């Protein structure tokens, strides 16, 4: 039996968050990278007639669609909805501030 293939509009940059969701909900889903133009998106695979398929059906009904549910989850994780199909944005870090914060934290916990 061939697995069910679900091509999402979700960027590959969020595959780690989706895998956490799948594990937490006991879903046996495999994620695969799919290139579409300049974007890298996620394709999901799961077995037909499995507990995962039945769970996805239930969750999809409850959340008005499987992909909609995954997008809602990403939004709840703090991902802006406009970036779900594009990917993560780089986070600029001030290394001097990080070092200062680390030194203050070390003093607070008694490490010198």
Q: What is the structure's pLDDT at 26? A: 94
Residues 61-83 as b/e (b if ≥16 CB within 10 A, e otherwise) read eeeeebbebbbebbeeeebeeee
Q: What is the pLDDT of residues 31-50, one digit of tens each?
A: 999 998 888 999 999 998 89
Strands of 4-81 (E only): list them: 4-11, 30-36, 39-46
SS3 77: coil
Number of domains observed in the structure of the chain: 1
pLDDT score of 11 more than 90:
yes
- Distance separating alpha carbons of residues 18 and 56, to the nearest angstrom: 14
Mean pLDDT computed over every residue of the chain: 89
Q: What is the structure's pLDDT at 90? A: 53
Percent of the chain with pLDDT over 90: 54
Q: What is the structure's pLDDT at 87? A: 81
Q: What is the structure's pLDDT at 42? A: 95
Find the mean pLDDT for residues 48-77. 91
The backbone torsions φ and ψ at residue 92, rounded to the nearest 5 degrees and listed phi first, read: -85, 130
- Distance separating alpha carbons of residues 52 and 11, to the nearest angstrom: 22
Q: What is the structure's pLDDT at 9? A: 92
Domain span at 19: 4-108
Nearest to 63 by CA among 53, 49, 73: 73
């Amino acid at each position: 039996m061939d697995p069910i293939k679900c091509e999402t509009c979700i960027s590959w940059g969020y595959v780690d968050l989706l895998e956490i969701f799948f594990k937490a909900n006991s879903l046996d889903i495999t994620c695969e990278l799919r290139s579409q133009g300049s974007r890298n998106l996620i394709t999901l695979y799961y077995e037909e007639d499995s507990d995962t398929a039945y769970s996805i059906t239930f969750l999809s009904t409850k959340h008005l669609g499987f992909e909609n549910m995954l997008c809602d989850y990403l939004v709840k994780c703090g991902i802006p909805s406009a970036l779900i199909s594009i990917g993560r944005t780089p986070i600029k870090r001030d290394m001097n501030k990080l070092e200062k914060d680390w030194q203050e934290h070390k003093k607070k916990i008694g490490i010198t």
